[in-house]
A = this chain, B = another copy of it.
Amino acid sequence: MSTAAGAKPSFKEQMLQAREEAIVKSVNRLLAEKGFDAMTVDEVAASVGIAKASLYKHFPSKEDLAAAAMVRVMRSAREFLDGIDAGLPPLEKLRAVVRWTLQVQLAGQMPSLPTQNSSLRAALTGSREYVDALMEISVRLGAWIEAAQAAGALNPKLPPIAVLYTLYARGCDPVLEFLRGGGQHTDDEIVDLVLSTCFDGLNSR
């Protein structure tokens, strides 16, 4: 704990966390809308309704803002994993996870970061909570992937790591945006289409 027991400090801490949660929520949305490079700190401050200098009291840099948003998504993903019915077959668990990521993306809640930016990478790998959450999620998904391969549901010839990356990549698949722009399908139909092409492929079965 950072404060001794008592009502007043706890309340203060709660206020602080609520403010920071509001900030990260705005960052999350802006990152999903415009991406890291196009998002400006001024926009974030305006969106939250505070001064830019105040923002920098909470987060020391733009990279840290993005990292906080990623931590938030990771937490959210871990909670989703926790809620998955343990009785489901591994493949169905994986499908549920991908479906969730697609829905998050369509809801405009999936932050998109450039993978090449080195200062951003440093901020991410420097965040213990982000690295830990990503690791834990990968391990859990990896176990399901191997179980699904052992059960003959997933193609056993594919390296599990390649499967994992392929699932992660669906979280930033531009096909969703393309299809929505076409205006010919509902969001649910789009999700089902991408899920189908992801697991069943384009070829006939």
Contacts and interface: CB of A to CB of B under 8 A. Distances in A.
Interface of A: 33-35, 37-38, 91, 114-117, 152-156, 158-159, 161-163, 165-169, 172-175, 177-179, 182, 184-185, 193, 196-205
Nearest to A37: B37
Contact of A114 (B38, B168, B184, B196): B38
B184 A159 contact: yes
A127 to B, nearest CB: 19
Contact of A174 (B156, B172, B178, B182): B172
In order of increasing CB-CB distance, the 6 nearest A-B pairs are: A201-B201, A37-B37, A165-B178, A200-B201, A169-B175, A165-B175
10 contacts: A33-B116, A37-B37, A37-B38, A115-B174, A153-B203, A155-B200, A155-B202, A162-B193, A166-B197, A200-B201
Nearest to A162: B193
A179 B201 contact: no
Contacts of A161: 179, 182, 184
A171 to B, nearest CB: 10
A202 B169 contact: no
A161 B166 CA distance: 22
Contacts of A201: 155, 197-203
B175 A162 contact: yes
